[in-house]
Amino acid sequence: MADLNIPNLNIKSDKYIFKKKLKLRRKSKSRLFTESFFLFILSLLLVYINYLIPNKNMLLQNLPSTFNKSFLLLIDLFSYLYQIFLVIFIFVSSFSALILMIGSFYRLFKVSRRKSKQIIYK
């Protein structure tokens, strides 16, 4: 009977768990006015920056050829990276093979020079 769990009826259900943390107040008209004013100023700034960019029409016309060239450069980059990684693999594998050969010759040398003591177990 000590392990009997009696439900607590004072716990609110889970659907109201975050209700008190939400801000349900509406923004005032003055705050909405200032936010819209800042948005308008930001949009004017972006339009002005766009106006200052020279040769917009030429940039837009050359966009497909630019994408094509960048795609070809990306393919060249991956082919060169393949060659670079292949050369790195060759160096690393040669170095590890050299270490393994030196270790095996050293172990063979140690085994051949060991004075064997034969212990007879009965």
Q: What is the tens place of the pLDDT at every residue in 8-43?
A: 666 656 666 666 665 667 888 888 999 999 999 999
Confidence band of 111 (pLDDT split at 50, 70, 90): confident
- The DSSP secondary-structure symbol of 52 reads H
Residue 7 clears pLDDT 80, i.e. is over it: no
Q: Please, what is the Cα angle at 89 between 86 and 95, to 5 degrees?
A: 145
Cα gap 109→103, rounded to integer Å:
10
For the chain, give every domain's residue range. Answer: 68-112
- The DSSP secondary-structure symbol of 4 reads P
Question: Is the whole-model pTM more than 0.85?
Answer: no
Residues 43-79 pLDDT 10s: 999 999 999 999 989 998 999 999 999 999 999 998 8
